[in-house]
Amino acid sequence: MNLAAYGLSAAATIALAAAIAALVVPARWRPAVSGTGTALAGLAGLVGGAAAAGGQSFAVALPGVLPLSGVSLAADPLSGVFMAVTGGVAVSVGIYAIGYARHTGTGPVPAAVLPLFAASMLGVLAAASVPTLLACWELMALASLLLVLTEHRRRPEVAEAGRWYAVMTHLGFACILAGLMIFAAHAGGDSFAALRAGAGRLAPAAWGTVFVLTLAGFGSKAGMVPLHAWLPRAHPEAPSHVSALMSAAMVNLGVYGIIRVDFGLLGGGGARGWWLLVLALGAVSAVYGILQAAMCGDLKRLLGYSTSENMGLVLIGVGAAGLFAASGQRLLAGLALAAALLHVANHAAFKTLLFLSAGSVLRGTGIRDLDALGGLRAPMPVTTAAFGWGALAASALPPGTAFVSEWLLVQALIHGFPGGGTAAAVVLPTAVAAVALTAGLAVATFVKAFGIGFLARPRSDGAARAVESPVSMLAGMGLAGAACAVLALAPGLVLPAIARAVSATGLAGEPPPTGGGLLTLRLAGVAGAVSPMLLTIALLAVMLAAAAGLRAVPGRRARRAARLWDCGAGPLTARMEYTATSFAEPLQRVFDDVVAPETDIDVSHHDEARYLVAAVEYRSRVPDRIEHRLYRPVLAAVGAWGTAGRRLAPGSVHRYLGYGFCAVTVLLIVLAVTR
């Protein structure tokens, strides 16, 4: 047993103990027990994951635990990186949940499920065989579903979000199940080692089927467009710390599945076309996700769409890695995969921070609608600072975290260009453009979310009465913020672990994709370097110099407060401020054809004179177009099919016996013919 194994077993034990304790302790202690248990399990997972990422791998088989197949667990640097990320998120979320659950109150079931959810995610990452993976995956899906449904008694929307989530997560599970079963049947074994060894025996058709099925299943968990429909529904309706755990940790497991199964086990090679598909889906997810986020007026829904966007960026990296590996550019494949993994870690850090601060806003004001928020800086200074730091990190601007990973991603795409052939000459510039458009729209989105949501004056009574959150919630946010700062300024701390994870996927034998120490990030093999730390120091130095220069101006006078310029029309009211909807309007017009907004204008006239307008009602909505065009028809068809099928079951026992008789007869005939 090494530190990785100890960490994981400790995480499982603590989570189980906390779950049982949360069921039996009095309600007063429940939030503390559940939150502390989650945080400790997360800490154990973080330590174990860090040890595994540092090279301490282990493998253990427990044949007696699960009937028929047994449980087989292992950790290598790849799962270690994801475990450390999951554990880190769980630590922040656990500490935060203590204060959050105390405010909203928590039933015994959600309190008990929270630590189990964290542990089941670690279980997915530690799985080393198909049955173990599937069992943990399903446990994770059920745990998260129960957590999403926490507030279903209070709000009817939660139940609808829960139904969407339940259906989509199980369809995804079915895809993964089918894909992995086909894989295992062809490979002749269900442990990951057997799958890896047998991957070469797969016929191209079987290979493609397994690839598409697992991509669909894992991709739907990662919020990949067009299988993202559950994400912007379930994330906003869950309690905020659960949203953080789902959005920052659970969606990563979809990416982990794709990297583990499709890249690692199926072999990074295969036809280039499949990886082009991954890249294209990633690009579409990134642009579509951020476009919807830019239009979105609901703070948590916006963050949910932004998750889709960031997973899209990660998938661009994974797709590019597969593409490069398939065409023999293994160094660049490593670089692209390292960019994707670094973005996973960065996204986890800033999305935890953003969801936790959004939860703090929700607790303090009771409002999620950006159009009704604003003016939170004075009453909620820490939350405002936390969200601002998270928004900077999310918008790929220096010195934010996403800047480093997106820089790395773009470098991988650019350097793959000269040696990639004609397909790469068309695909890679388009991918760079998609990343660039995503980065630009992300800036617009987060300027909107932070500027409209937190700055200026409150736009409603709820926002005006905001109160700051308790210390435990702020501490959870502070931890996530510190993680953002470390990842942004010293990515060199985590890059060695990511390099080991990259070589664990089958790109072994190559030099680590990045180097250059703590201060500077230098690419190996190709020219390119960036130093977020030096940039930040330079920025701060110039700001201090400019401030000192201003103070040194002779005859300088004291700062004075003044009225805003109101065109001489009296004081400006909060109603006159720009809202999130008006802020997004230019973008909505530009992308009119893509997002297809719906607007209704009702004009009602006076009864006496039709020429006098009594009231004008204007309603504008940006529906999720993919959901509208893709899911509604399918749902309608299924519904119609069900209604039609009802005629087959009129309630007559004779008819049912007849069905049974016919079925047996047909079966016998088929057997007689085929045997």
Partner 1 sequence: MNRVGIAGGVIQVLLVTGGAPLLAGVMRQVRARLEGRAGPGVGQPWRDLRKLLRKEPVTPAGTSELYRVAPLVLVATTAVAAAVAPFVTAASAIGPAADLFAVAALLAMGTATLALAAIDTGTPFGGMGASREVTIMALAEPTLLVSVFALSVRAGSTGLAAIVGATLHDPARVLSPGSLLAAVALGVVTIAETGRLPVDNPATHLELTMVHEAMTLEYAGPDLALVELASAMRLCVFLGLLASLFAPWGIAVSAAPLALAVGAAAFAVKVGLLGAGLAAAEVFMAKLRLFRVPELLAGSFLLALLAVTASWFLAA
Judged by CB under 8 A, the chain residues 199 through 238 that form the site for partner 1 are none
- Residue 250 to residue 121: CA distance in whole angstroms: 7
Binding partner 1 by CB under 8 A: which of 6, 173, 417, 631?
Answer: 417
Residue 379 DSSP one-character state: T
Binding partner 1 by CB under 8 A: which of 27, 153, 160, 430?
Answer: 430
CB-CB contact of 306 with 47 (8 Å): no
- Residue 416 CB, nearest distance to partner 1 (Å)? 11
The verdict on 27 binding partner 1 (CB under 8 A) reads no
- Residue 437 CB, nearest distance to partner 1 (Å)? 5
Number of residues engaging partner 1 in binding (CB under 8 A) = 89
All residues at 6 or more sequence positions from 352 whose CB lies less than 8 Å from its CB, including other chains: 89, 92, 93, 244, 248, 480, 483
φ/ψ (deg, to 5) at 603: -110, 120
The verdict on 590 binding partner 1 (CB under 8 A) reads yes
User: Which residues, listed in sequence order, are joined to residue 605 by a DSSP beta bridge?
Assistant: 613
Residue 285, CA distances (Å) to 245, 300, 309 in order: 21, 18, 6
The verdict on 527 binding partner 1 (CB under 8 A) reads yes
The verdict on 324 binding partner 1 (CB under 8 A) reads no
User: CA 224, 626, 578: angle at the middle one, nearest 5?
Assistant: 95
User: Which residues, listed in sequence order, are joined to residue 58 by a DSSP beta bridge?
Assistant: 75
Binding partner 1 by CB under 8 A: which of 62, 539, 663, 664?
Answer: 539
Cβ distance to partner 1 smaller for residue 271 or 456 = 456
Q: Alpha helix (H) ranges present in 455-531?
A: 461-464, 471-489, 495-502
Amino acid identity, position 536? T
The verdict on 647 binding partner 1 (CB under 8 A) reads no
Residue 615 DSSP one-character state: E
CB-CB contact of 77 with 53 (8 Å): yes
Residue 52, CA distances (Å) to 88, 108, 251, 460 in order: 14, 34, 21, 49
- Residue 239 to residue 242: CA distance in whole angstroms: 5
> Crossing angle for the helix pair 471-489 and 401-415, nearest 10 degrees?
30
- Residue 302 CB, nearest distance to partner 1 (Å)? 15
Strand residue runs (E) in 3-133: 58-62, 71-75
CB-CB contact of 225 with 293 (8 Å): no
Near partner 1 by CB under 8 A, which window of 148-156, 169-177, 561-569, 624-632?
Answer: 561-569
Per-residue binding string, partner 1, 360-379, x by CB under 8 A, is: --------------xx-xx-
Token pair, residue 538, equals 């330079």
Binding partner 1 by CB under 8 A: which of 27, 471, 547, 613?
Answer: 547
CB-CB contact of 574 with 457 (8 Å): yes
Strand residue runs (E) in 117-201: none
Cβ distance to partner 1 smaller for residue 189 or 440 = 440
- Residue 442 CB, nearest distance to partner 1 (Å)? 8
Near partner 1 by CB under 8 A, which window of 51-59, 304-312, 565-573, 665-673?
Answer: 565-573
Cβ distance to partner 1 smaller for residue 13 or 520 = 520
Residue 369 DSSP one-character state: B
- Residue 567 CB, nearest distance to partner 1 (Å)? 9
Binding partner 1 by CB under 8 A: which of 106, 214, 292, 395?
Answer: 395
The verdict on 673 binding partner 1 (CB under 8 A) reads no
- Residue 588 CB, nearest distance to partner 1 (Å)? 10
- Residue 375 CB, nearest distance to partner 1 (Å)? 8
Near partner 1 by CB under 8 A, which window of 44-52, 80-88, 432-440, 655-663?
Answer: 432-440
Amino acid identity, position 220? S
Binding partner 1 by CB under 8 A: which of 526, 597, 620, 625?
Answer: 526
CB-CB contact of 222 with 286 (8 Å): no
The verdict on 410 binding partner 1 (CB under 8 A) reads yes
- Sort strands 598-605 and 521-523 into parallel, antiparallel or unpaired: unpaired
- Residue 177 to residue 180: CA distance in whole angstroms: 5
The string over 115-148, giving b where at least 16 C-beta atoms fall within 10 Å of a residue's C-beta and e elsewhere, is bbbbbbbbbbbbbbbbbbbbbbbbbbbbbbbbbb
The verdict on 572 binding partner 1 (CB under 8 A) reads yes
Near partner 1 by CB under 8 A, which window of 23-31, 126-134, 310-318, 392-400?
Answer: 392-400
CB-CB contact of 182 with 251 (8 Å): no
The verdict on 112 binding partner 1 (CB under 8 A) reads no
- Residue 445 CB, nearest distance to partner 1 (Å)? 9
Site for partner 1 in 433-472 (CB under 8 A): 433-437, 439-441, 443-444, 447-448, 450-452, 455-457
Among all chains, which residue has been given the structure tokens 């729209």? 441
Binding partner 1 by CB under 8 A: which of 307, 346, 411, 505?
Answer: 411
Binding partner 1 by CB under 8 A: which of 154, 204, 565, 611?
Answer: 565
The verdict on 66 binding partner 1 (CB under 8 A) reads no
- Residue 360 CB, nearest distance to partner 1 (Å)? 18
Rg (CA), the chain: 27
Near partner 1 by CB under 8 A, which window of 61-69, 171-179, 415-423, 665-673?
Answer: 415-423
- Residue 590 CB, nearest distance to partner 1 (Å)? 5
Binding partner 1 by CB under 8 A: which of 407, 463, 474, 500?
Answer: 407
Q: Do you know the residue count of the chain?
A: 675
- Residue 583 CB, nearest distance to partner 1 (Å)? 4
Binding partner 1 by CB under 8 A: which of 3, 574, 626, 630?
Answer: 574
Near partner 1 by CB under 8 A, which window of 53-61, 139-147, 149-157, 391-399?
Answer: 391-399
The verdict on 557 binding partner 1 (CB under 8 A) reads yes
Binding partner 1 by CB under 8 A: which of 425, 594, 640, 662?
Answer: 425
The verdict on 538 binding partner 1 (CB under 8 A) reads yes
CB-CB contact of 244 with 233 (8 Å): no
Binding partner 1 by CB under 8 A: which of 203, 205, 561, 601?
Answer: 561
> Residue 453: enclosing H or E segment and its boundaries?
helix 421-454
Binding partner 1 by CB under 8 A: which of 11, 127, 135, 396?
Answer: 396
> Residue 614: enclosing H or E segment and its boundaries?
strand 613-621
- Residue 36 to residue 594: CA distance in whole angstroms: 45
- Residue 185 to residue 259: CA distance in whole angstroms: 21
- Residue 243 to residue 403: CA distance in whole angstroms: 24
Binding partner 1 by CB under 8 A: which of 139, 382, 397, 464?
Answer: 397
The verdict on 522 binding partner 1 (CB under 8 A) reads yes
Binding partner 1 by CB under 8 A: which of 16, 432, 482, 486?
Answer: 432
Binding partner 1 by CB under 8 A: which of 193, 486, 587, 626?
Answer: 587
The verdict on 548 binding partner 1 (CB under 8 A) reads no
